[in-house]
Amino acid sequence: MASAKKPSRQQVYTLIVQIGRKEGDGLPDKATGAGLVVFSSGVNEAEAVRETVAVLKQAETAPLDVTGYGTLAEREAAGHEISDDERQLMQRALDENAVIIAQMEPFYDDAPARE
């Protein structure tokens, strides 16, 4: 007798992660860090954050701060505009139970040099 597949409780969460510098992190030479938009699956946001931090550490980066923006439904309820590309990446994160970096923006220290 084949059992019915239990529905997944996984959801995809949108996270903004700030990373600092670490040797071998792959960031541009003069960058002081970066901001990442991440889609991460988890049964709750805390699990999605833990998985994201673990993956980023394995990738030789230095995660400093994570801000959660909720699930697709929560973002829609908050009035966020979500592109088809974002929706596809969120679905991929769910299908693959994955952490997907959707965008990376390096940070630079634009402060003028002191004399």
State the pTM of this model: 0.86
Evaluate if residue 2 carries a pLDDT over 50: no
Q: Kindly state the percentage of the chain with pLDDT values over 90.
A: 84
What's the total number of domains in the chain?
Answer: 1
Evaluate if residue 3 carries a pLDDT over 50: no
Could you count the other beta carbons within 10 Å of the beta carbon of residue 48?
A: 26
Average pLDDT rounded to a whole number, residues 74-99 = 95
Residue 2 lies inside a defined structural domain of this protein: no
Instruction: Kindly report, residue by residue over 12-58, the tens digit of the pLDDT.
Output: 999 999 999 999 899 999 999 999 999 999 999 999 999 999 999 99
Quote the domain boundaries for residue 51.
11-108
Residue 1 lies inside a defined structural domain of this protein: no
Measured CA to CA, the distance from residue 107 to residue 75 in angstroms comes to 26
Residue 6 lies inside a defined structural domain of this protein: no
- Tokens 């974002």 identify what position? 86
Residue 23 lies inside a defined structural domain of this protein: yes
Average pLDDT rounded to a whole number, residues 77-94 = 96
Measured CA to CA, the distance from residue 97 to residue 89 in angstroms comes to 12
Residue 48 lies inside a defined structural domain of this protein: yes
Residue 15 lies inside a defined structural domain of this protein: yes
